[in-house]
């Protein structure tokens, strides 16, 4: 009775570990350790420098755009623009709409505005992640690397290693330089 429970526990532990490891890896048959480390490191750095092309210059509190002041002829014109317009037309009796207490920047924003700002920020971050992933893949592909699927055992072993550690990278290199592993894990068309 204990043996099946022990095996079930080990199986669950290994499947949990495997889920934290990447599903794929990159390799080039016969690549040297130095070339593998250099090229993967270079492509990682190149990808990290990528931006999604957002409009950081027009972002204010997470909301894109610019300060579109109301013109004198618009229905919501207020303040100095309306006063100047009234003075220029000879109508000294123009009644500008009053500003809310504390002005436009009273520190209070609506929940909708905050939600839109947060959504826009998340969208920008996801676009940046996509741009970095595309840059990383194209950089490695240009250098002759192929992406291949890791088996459950490979993912489990990788998950047992400290991510980013020497053993982690050494194991990825061993997999990525073995032509048999790459061929076995490669999907048709890759």
**pLDDT tens column, 159-189:** 999 998 999 999 999 999 999 999 888 654 4
Helices 166-176 & 152-160 angle (0-180, nearest 10): 160
pLDDT at 152 over 80: yes
Q: How confident is the model at residue 51 (pLDDT cuts 50, 70, 90)?
A: confident
pLDDT, one tens digit per residue, over 71-93 is 444 444 444 444 444 444 455 55
pLDDT value for 184: 87
Query: What is the pTM (predicted TM-score) of this model?
Result: 0.58
Ramachandran angles phi, psi of 60, nearest 5°:
-135, 105
Q: How confident is the model at residue 61 (pLDDT cuts 50, 70, 90)?
A: low
pLDDT value for 107: 64
Q: For 162, which DSSP code?
A: P
Distances (CA, A) of 82 to 35, 90, 104, 126, 145: 68, 12, 16, 42, 64
Average pLDDT over residues 133-139: 94
pLDDT, one tens digit per residue, over 110-125 is 788 888 888 999 999 9
Query: Dihedral of CA 23/26/32/33: which sign?
Result: negative
Least confident residue range of 9-18, 21-30, 60-69: 9-18
pLDDT at 151 over 70: yes
Cβ distance 168 to 162 under 8 Å? yes
């Amino acid at each position: 009775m204990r043996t099946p429970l022990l095996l079930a526990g080990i199986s669950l532990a290994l499947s949990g570990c495997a889920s934290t490891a990447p599903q794929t890896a990159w390799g080039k048959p016969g690549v040297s350790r130095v070339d593998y480390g250099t090229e993967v490191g270079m492509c990682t750095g190149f990808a990290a420098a990528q931006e999604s092309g957002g409009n950081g210059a027009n972002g204010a509190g997470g909301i894109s755009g610019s300060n579109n002041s109301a013109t004198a002829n618009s229905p919501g014109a207020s303040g100095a623009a309306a006063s100047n317009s009234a003075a220029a037309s000879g109508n000294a009796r123009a009644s500008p709409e009053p500003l809310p207490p504390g002005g436009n920047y009273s520190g209070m924003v609506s929940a909708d505005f905050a939600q839109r700002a947060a959504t826009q920020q998340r969208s920008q971050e996801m676009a940046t992640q996509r741009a970095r992933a595309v840059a990383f893949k194209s950089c490695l592909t240009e250098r002759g690397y192929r992406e291949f699927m890791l088996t459950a055992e490979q993912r489990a072993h990788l998950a047992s290693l400290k991510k980013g550690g020497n053993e982690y990278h050494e194991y990825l290199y061993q997999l990525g330089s073995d032509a048999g592993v790459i061929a076995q894990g490669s999907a048709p068309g890759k």
